[in-house]
Amino acid sequence: MIGLFAHGARAFHIHTYNLCFLGFGNVNRTLAQLLIDREPELRERHGINFRITGIATRRLGWLADPNGLDPKACVEQAPLPARPRGSDRKPGSVRNWLKAARADVLFEATSLNVENGQPAVDHIRAALHHGADAITANKGPIVHAYRELRDLAAARGKRFLFESTVMDGVPIFSFFDQLPAIHLQGFHGILNSTTNVILSEMENGLNFDESLKKAQSLGIAETDATHDIDGWDAAVKTAALIAVLMDVPIRLQEIEREGIRSLNAEAVRAAREQARPYKLICRAKKTESGVTASVRPEQVPLTDPMAQIAGTSSYIYFQTDIFPGLALTEENPGLYATAYGMLADFVRAVTASS
């Protein structure tokens, strides 16, 4: 739907987009609230209007109403109509749900599947075939199907964007879009907040189990934190950066991976006292035969910026053929940072196609 909006001496078209949320946990629910908060700015500065026409969760089933669901009720998890006008709680497939909701944009925020990226890969594929832009916070599709989904999006004239998959909403991927014809030679950094919090708490006197429980109580670590502790989350993020920014497909099995499970509190505190604290470091380097990559705990000197990264903060240092070093630091982000990455992707997607 297109309308006309006058702003000062100029006028521009207002486009209304139907938004669908697949998964409505912390990330997508925070995104919906952020969209509500930024609605006037989106309309007045970017010519974007929106309505939420689809929500799919295990609890609610498949909700679809092309006339729009109540966004505030969605965010507050207030009771929604059992069957909104035009809705189908059991459409039989993601494609049927997208069709019933007349989706223009899909926000995909389901759980990570390290092994094959499913069902998120199928969700994004279905959105692109339907004719919707696909935006995800799920790292799995980048690692397991990036080139396929990138090429499918291009063929369908749509966008496949994923800024929130690494360092929350920090614009890592779009940052490199602003650096044409540059070659990334390697990178290193700290990309997993759960292990960073655990190591920080161990330095402060807690043992491993106590540090993990504290991270869980703060909402930083999942109930099952295996992916974080054993380095899988960091490895998936490393693989995603390699696949997109270096344009080199890499399997997770090719990344040397060691988590922090074997570190005890005594060793962690001793390393800090020696001014060489432990950090879970991701590394990648381009070679003549491809890319070598690793995720493992390392001791870093206090002169290294990584030694100062604590709590939920993240850090990454890029080496390119033009700029010897480019660094990005994110300090203690919250859910709104992840949600913002998806909102920014939404603006990029629809303004590029309008």
Domain ranges of the chain: 2-169+336-353, 180-332
Q: Which of 15, 14, 52 is nearest to 31 (CA)?
A: 52
Count other C-beta atoms under 10 Å from residue 71's C-beta. 17
Predicted confidence at residue 86, as pLDDT, reads 46
Give the contacts of 83 (CB within 8 A, at least 6 positions apart): 89
Query: Do the beta carbons of residue 64 and residue 84 sit within 8 Å?
Result: yes
Phi, psi of 98 (to 5 degrees): -60, -40
From its phi and psi, is residue 77 left (phi > 0), alpha (psi between -120 and 50) or beta? left
How far apart are the C-alpha atoms of 287 and 86, rounded to whole Å? 55
Strands 184-190, 133-136: pairing is: unpaired
> Is residue 349 within 8 Å of residue 336, measured between CB atoms?
no
pLDDT at 47 (0 to 100): 94
Asked if 69 and 27 touch (Cβ cutoff 8 Å), the reply is no
The whole-number pLDDT of residue 275 equals: 97
Q: Does this chain's domain 2-169+336-353 share its CATH topology with 180-332?
A: no
CATH class of 180-332: alpha beta
How would DSSP label each residue in 116-162?
Answer: T-TTHHHHHHHHHHHT-EEEE--SHHHHHHHHHHHHHHHHHT--EE-
Structure tokens at 354: 């309008």
Residue 68 contacts residue 53 (beta carbons within 8 Å) = yes
CATH tag, 2-169+336-353 = 3.40.50.720
The size of the chain, in residues, is: 354
Write the CB contacts of 39 (distance below 8 Å, at least 6 apart in sequence): 49, 50
pLDDT score for 261: 95
| Beta-bridge mates of residue 16 | 49
Q: How far apart are CA 323 and CA 83, in angstroms?
A: 55
pLDDT at 4: 47
Within 13 Å and on the Cβ side, how many CA atoms surround 126? 20
Q: Kind and range of the H or E element at 22? A: strand 10-22
Tens digit of pLDDT at every position of the chain (354 positions): 445 444 544 555 889 999 999 999 999 999 999 999 999 999 999 999 999 999 999 888 899 999 999 878 878 765 555 444 444 455 568 999 999 999 999 999 999 999 999 999 999 999 999 999 999 999 999 999 999 999 999 999 999 999 999 998 899 999 999 999 999 999 999 999 999 999 999 999 999 999 999 999 988 888 899 999 999 999 999 999 999 999 999 999 999 999 999 999 999 999 999 999 999 999 999 998 889 999 999 999 999 999 999 888 999 999 999 999 999 999 988 889 999 999 999 999 999 865
Determine if the peptide bond prior to 119 is cis (ω within 30°). yes
Q: How far apart are CA 198 and CA 268, in angstroms?
A: 10
